[in-house]
Chains A and B, each alone.
Chain A
Amino acid sequence: MLQELCYPFDGGEILQKRKKLLRQLKAQEDNGISLRIAVLGGSTTNDIISMLELFLRNRGIVPKFWQSEYAQYWQDAMFENASLKEFSPELIFIHTSSRNIQHFPSVQDTPETCRQKLEEVYSHFSQMWERLTENYGCPIIQNNFEFPLTRLLGNREAGCPQGKIDFINRLNCKFSDYASTHQNFYLHDINYLSSCYGLEKWLEPIYWHLYKYALAVPAIPDFSYNLSNIICSLMGKNKKAFALDLDNTLWGGVIGDDGQAGIEIGQETAVGQAYAELQGYLKSYQDLGVLLTVCSKNDYENAISGLEHPDGILKPDDFTLIKANWNPKSENLLDTAQELNLLPESFVFVDDNPAERAIIQAQLPDTPVIAFQSVEDCMIAIDRSGYFEVTNLSGDDVKRSQMYKANAQRQSASQQFANYTDFLKSLDMKAEIRNFDEVHIPRITQLTNKSNQFNLTTKRYTQAEIEQVASNPAYLCLYGRLTDKFGDNGIVSVVIGKKQGQTLHMELWLMSCRVLKRDMELAMLDELVSTAKQNQISEIFGYYYPTKKNAMVKELYQTFGFSLVSEDEAGNTVWKLDVSGYVPQNHVIAVIPETR
């Protein structure tokens, strides 16, 4: 990651040096996810695209763009469009603004006419979304509307149907209703963004008159960054956990010196209030399934006593893992990542000390740090960074921190058994292994985009692609859900194979690392082989494509009992299994039969 492109950034600097930054990003040889994005604009979009490219590449997404001719968004969406068809977008972004509202009500209009105009403007957009969904079936991101620069009626603009402010409020409500009732449709909230930026600066008219930009050029980096957060989230790039410092980050003062009674947290002082607000904000991340961990230089007992402060909001129990010792923080963060089976880059590091932040940046350059001056800035810095942007709230997200906690309990339970198989049996594991069904498609898609380690081919799928393979009889698709006596792990494994005559070719085999060493992969294999037999398949071909992150499954097919067919110079391997003599290998997980 280039630090210049991490939040908080200097937008002017990025605009000025974008060629150099792009050159640097292209030089970082990395296998990013490629993504075809169509940008349908109602005003100029060039710089929006160039900024978006920088931010996406910095998060490991390599975009390719198709762009409307000036202000042709509606025509491009509504009519036959060979060039867009050929481009075959995987994501569509519609860049419209209040400049594109063609029928604002006039002061003379009756309330009935105002309502009709609202319907007209809304259907201009909703028709377009329906058409795009029909023709391209990919996710759509749509701006809502910013407020106008002027108010003819003054405050009354917000208080009667003839007012522009009222009109935009109602239109934005209609957009949000559409977003909340349609999968694959996401709002880009420029109404909020422009108010944070300052509406007058956002709408400086010179940029419209000179270049037909609907927003000021200096605001474009903020705009594109905010947009990139949605895209990163859709592509499974969200961060998963916080690594939090304690002294002067979660409370004021140093627990080792000041003692529990001496630190500032709670409603007694202004500073204490600010820390309490921050703790409350962080605690609410648990509802999104984001894990909280501590990464502190302290004696463990002191750390716990600070967290047990009666006026604190965060308690020791809220943390999945607490590392409080005197090791370098980069080592602690690595250990934490390993123990939770996460990658270090899935963490966001929060520390008031610039020196500690610099160490993390140097040692773990892909782990973002939150830079802030003072406690009251910290919450906004975390919020605007967008590392946890929510695009789909799946039930699994909400349960995640409970699941990781249950995992920690399982680990301590494993120490009481002499033999590992006995331990696995004691977990009372049950698996549900089924064909893809509609309700699980969002989670299945999410997994294909965020699993890096236990992933044989690292093939990424959009939701539309998953829907396609699920309904195509040429594919065998299975998902696996695992529960045990400590809790439900949710959907943790996905396999997709393509039939060719009597052979089956595995295009995807992945598993979430939170169920490593549980024999879930064997349960999946047993089920796959039995499904394959029912489909008159005689041989299964497995493929392993090495990446920087998936070395752990290099020998997976061998341990499954496949034999090696070929290996090329890049280390790509092909494996083969004859299903006729296959003996089931899972003895610890009860697979629940499908009830019909």
Chain B
Amino acid sequence: MNREQVKERLTKVFRDVFDDDEIVLTDKTTANDIEDWDSLEHINLIGATEKEFKMRFSVREVSGMKNVGEMIDIICQRAGK
């Protein structure tokens, strides 16, 4: 699974969670770019991402993630193992 494929699946997750089909993700996307992305939706987003990719983030990973790019990095790392 390459970064583009991950981004594509992640986009679908974001669109579901925010109920907005116009969301387009880049590596630089952060919570500031999506209106409804607050700390509460963040919980939901992490949960939905874990479900989509059948993996779990650790406490450290969730706390440290800064943007969508880093999220994709972690997902790719896990898939690579």
A residues adjacent to B (C-beta < 8 A) = 12, 15-20, 23, 46-47, 206, 209-211, 213, 217-218
Contact = CB atoms under 8 A, between A and B. Distances in A.
B51 A19 contact: no
Contact of A46 (B18, B40, B48, B62): B40
Contacts of B43: 47, 210-211, 213, 217
Given A206-B59, A210-B62, A17 B47 contact: no
B17 A19 contact: yes
Contacts of A12: 47-48, 51
A17 B51 CA distance: 13
12 contacts: A15-B47, A16-B16, A16-B48, A16-B51, A17-B16, A46-B40, A47-B43, A47-B44, A206-B58, A206-B62, A210-B63, A217-B44
The interface centre, meaning the residue of A19, A217, A218 with most chain B CB atoms within 10 A of its CB, is A19
A210 B59 contact: yes
A206 B51 CA distance: 16
Closest 3 A/B residue pairs (Cβ)? A19-B19, A16-B48, A12-B51
A268 to B, nearest CB: 44
B48 A15 contact: yes
Nearest to A18: B44
B25 interface: no
Contacts of A211: 43
A47 B40 contact: yes
A248 B6 CA distance: 45
Given A18-B44, A210-B59, A217-B43, 8 more contacts: A15-B44, A15-B47, A16-B44, A16-B51, A19-B19, A206-B59, A209-B59, A218-B47
A46 to B, nearest CB: 5
A578 to B, nearest CB: 57
B35 to A, nearest CB: 12
B51 to A, nearest CB: 5
A23 B19 contact: yes
A488 to B, nearest CB: 52
B13 interface: yes
B17 A16 contact: yes
Interface of B: 13, 16-19, 40, 43-44, 47-48, 51, 58-59, 62-63
Contacts of A16: 13, 16-17, 44, 47-48, 51
Nearest to B19: A19
A306 B34 CA distance: 62
Contacts of B59: 206, 209-210
B5 to A, nearest CB: 19
A16 B18 CA distance: 9
B14 to A, nearest CB: 10
Contacts of B58: 206
Contacts of A206: 58-59, 62
The interface centre, meaning the residue of B51, B62, B63 with most chain A CB atoms within 10 A of its CB, is B51
Contacts of A23: 19
Contacts of A20: 16, 19
B45 to A, nearest CB: 9
A206 to B, nearest CB: 5
Contacts of A218: 47
A211 B45 CA distance: 13
Nearest to A206: B59
Contacts of B51: 12, 16
B61 to A, nearest CB: 10
A47 to B, nearest CB: 7
Nearest to B36: A19
The interface centre, meaning the residue of B13, B19, B47, B62 with most chain A CB atoms within 10 A of its CB, is B47
Nearest to B41: A19
A456 B16 CA distance: 43
A15 B16 CA distance: 10
A574 B79 CA distance: 70
A211 B59 CA distance: 10
Nearest to B17: A16
A348 B48 CA distance: 32
Contacts of B13: 16
Given A16-B16, A20-B19, A217 B47 contact: yes
A17 B17 CA distance: 6
A7 B70 CA distance: 37
Nearest to A10: B51
Nearest to A22: B19
B47 to A, nearest CB: 5
A15 B13 CA distance: 11
Contacts of B19: 17, 19-20, 23
B65 to A, nearest CB: 11
Contacts of B40: 46-47
B40 to A, nearest CB: 5
Contacts of A213: 43
A288 B43 CA distance: 41
A16 B63 CA distance: 21
A138 B40 CA distance: 30
Contacts of B17: 16, 19
The interface centre, meaning the residue of A12, A46, A210 with most chain B CB atoms within 10 A of its CB, is A210
Contacts of B48: 12, 15-16
Contacts of B62: 206, 210
